[in-house]
Structure 1
Amino acid sequence: MDYEKPGPVEENWRDAISSIEEIIDDARNGRMFILVDHEDRENEGDLVIPAQMATPEAINFMATHGRGLICLSMPGHRIDALGLPLMSTNNASRHETAFTVSIEAREGVTTGISAYDRARTVAVAIDPTKTGADIATPGHIFPLRARDGGVLVRAGHTEAAVDISRLAGLNPSGVICEIMKDDGEMARLPDLIAFAQKHNLKIGTISDLIAYRRRHDNLVRETAQRSVTSAHGGEWMMRVFTDQTQGAEHVVLSMGDLTDPAPVLTRMHAMNPLEDVLGIGEGHAGDLQGAMKLIAAEGRGVVVLLRDTAMKLDLDEGGSPQILRQYGLGAQILAALGLHELTLVTNSPTPRVVGLDAYGLHIAGTRPIPKE
């Protein structure tokens, strides 16, 4: 593949974004592409190629021009088949990226760091006929565990690489590498457009991929509905949504007319029995009850009780705004309720949520939870 042949020059940076259909077609044909979160000037980007197509030439291009860490995104079942433990069981990284221990092909490599050796390691790792016995640790390839459900669960490059490879009819795994500038700073969208034009690569967005998958996949469905009375706010409509990835049931409590276009008070609450039932915890005990009482006082709003503690739209109290990715099932539930404009009930700063617009949702603001 000739990555040195310049591509077309786009005058408007928005015109430089390709459709997901075009990205999938390039993936199917073994072409590398760039993925960003959204059409935003401050976005960083990753080089991505389906792992099945990761030749030594492609690995060398990533190392030479991308300059970031070269990683291998794989679905959880393949990670488990290889017996790869997570690098850390207590993931405190900013984006909660699920790194496993690094790997090397046990046979057919020398030092392991060459482009040929890393391509060989990738090929062995994704080969369904190979097992953990064919892999050595540590090594020079860094596997990433993609969440089941892909970008509809976590809006990350890890999941996007797996999703696009699967949609292209290839092995559901991808090799990704962050793109840095010559000075070592991360490349932003204007830099990425120039990079893409120089090397004749397409740029796609995770937000568009989420929208594409929403047109074809639905990971949540409503399985029960009834009216309930709570000590925290009185009468609520309770709905149960079941997600198709793990079979978990998520409870939604709603009050008032949700069809009104005005922003809806919304509490996205990751269930924690110690805090929510026993009142144990620093800062967050009582947040659920406080949010319910606030919504009841307003007479209109929604509380979504998520069974997965990673799926939340708030941070520790006093934390700084950050990019959130692991919210997809909650966003699908809100979309299923017909919501569009949200006022988050939280004591955290307003987060930037990757791909939220793909669900037709917008965070209009926040409301703090009163402390008793």
Structure 2
Amino acid sequence: MSRQAGRLDRALAAFRAGEPVLVHDFDDREGETDLVYPANAVEPADVARMRNDAGGLICVAVSDPVADAAGLPFLEDQIDHPAAAGHDLAYDDRSSFSLPVNHRDTFTGITDDDRALTITELASMASAVDAGVDYGPEEFAAEFRAPGHVHVLRGAPEGLSDRLGHTELGLAMAAETGQPPAVVVCEMLDDETGGALSPAAAREYAERHGFPYVEGEELVETLR
């Protein structure tokens, strides 16, 4: 077995077991490493790790069929303001952001407990939709309110064949490992520079904590 295959097998085994994986996308894209979790496995301590060790935005990516069933739009399509017009992202054609939500059983929605509840309930919703349960916007609204503190991301319809973001990389790992089509992604930032954590520093963090680290290219080669 090659070193790359062994690294990927370890990452998928960890993800299957509900553990996080560090995923670096591509140097010519965002050039960022995200902590990626299966959403159904996230606990308050995991939210604390993401905000303390990663520092980026804690988001839940759901597959395109799940987003369609729940009536989750692309956020830019819903904003009636000039700031939403004229996309000029240097690394992609459009943002994958949908609604920011809180579960209705949360209080402010921002605490570790509250965000973990919202995240795992989004995973439960995604699992139900994936299993064929009759679910629509009204059912979603009965469970979640917007705006909230957990940003939902919409996966591209054809996954990695459409888009090579952390959203699609994480959802591809979920599909490969039998997890619900809902994953948590959070960018890792460097406390000293304020920029994205370098791949070398991300690998060192992964080794220190016993987490797998994979390159987006490795995932694309195997999972697309």
User: Among residues 151, 154, 169, which one is paired with 1:160 in the alignment?
Assistant: 169
Does the CA-based 8 Å contact 1:17-1:203 persist in structure 2? no
Q: State the 1:100 CA deviation.
A: 0.8
User: Among residues 9, 17, 25, which one is paired with 2:13 in the alignment?
Assistant: 25
User: Which portions of structure 1, spanning 4 or more consecutive aligned residues, are displaced by more than 4 angstroms?
Assistant: 15-18
Q: State the 1:213 CA deviation.
A: 2.2
Secondary structure of 2:187's counterpart equals strand
Match of 2:108 in 1: 111
TM-score, structure 2 as length reference? 0.81
Secondary structure of 1:78's counterpart equals helix
Structure 1 residue 83 corresponds to structure 2 residue 59: no
Say how many residue pairs are matched: 198
Hey, what's the Cα distance between the residues in 1 that align with 2:17 and 2:23? 17
Does the CA-based 8 Å contact 2:35-2:185 persist in structure 1? yes
Does the CA-based 8 Å contact 2:26-2:32 persist in structure 1? no
Match of 1:246 in 2: none
Match of 2:121 in 1: 124
Match of 2:49 in 1: 61
Hey, what's the Cα distance between the residues in 2 that align with 1:76 and 1:103? 17
**Aligned ranges for residues 359-370 of structure 1 at < 5 Å?**
none
Structure with larger Rg: 1
Hey, what's the Cα distance between the residues in 2 that align with 1:105 and 1:78? 17
User: 1:91/1:148 Cα in 2 relative to 1: closer, same or farther (>3 Å)?
Assistant: farther
Does the CA-based 8 Å contact 1:39-1:205 persist in structure 2? no
Supply the AA of the counterpart residue of 2:101.
I
User: Among residues 172, 192, 199, which one is paired with 1:189 in the alignment?
Assistant: 199
User: Among residues 181, 185, 189, which one is paired with 1:180 in the alignment?
Assistant: 189
Does the CA-based 8 Å contact 1:104-1:121 persist in structure 2? yes
Secondary structure of 2:59's counterpart equals strand
Q: State the 1:177 CA deviation.
A: 0.3
Higher RCO, 1 or 2 (CA under 8 Å, sep at least 6)?
Answer: 2
User: 1:121/1:63 Cα in 2 relative to 1: closer, same or farther (>3 Å)?
Assistant: same
Match of 1:135 in 2: 144
Identity across matched positions, percent: 27
Structure 1 or 2: larger strand share?
1
Match of 1:71 in 2: 59
Secondary structure of 1:68's counterpart equals coil
**Aligned ranges for residues 141-152 of structure 1 at < 5 Å?**
141-152=150-161
Hey, what's the Cα distance between the residues in 1 that align with 2:38 and 2:67? 17
User: 1:197/1:39 Cα in 2 relative to 1: closer, same or farther (>3 Å)?
Assistant: farther
Does the CA-based 8 Å contact 2:73-2:98 persist in structure 1? yes
Does the CA-based 8 Å contact 2:40-2:124 persist in structure 1? no
**1:148-184 deviation digits (Å, cap 9, x = unpaired):** 2211221110001111011111101100000011122
Hey, what's the Cα distance between the residues in 2 that align with 1:83 and 1:132? 10
Does the CA-based 8 Å contact 1:86-1:98 persist in structure 2? yes
Match of 1:207 in 2: 217
Q: State the 1:18 CA deviation.
A: 5.9
Structure 1 residue 101 corresponds to structure 2 residue 85: no
Q: Which runs of 5+ in 2 are unaligned?
A: 78-84, 129-138
TM-score, structure 1 as length reference? 0.50
Hey, what's the Cα distance between the residues in 2 that align with 1:18 and 1:156? 23
Secondary structure of 1:201's counterpart equals coil
CA RMSD of aligned residues (A): 2.3
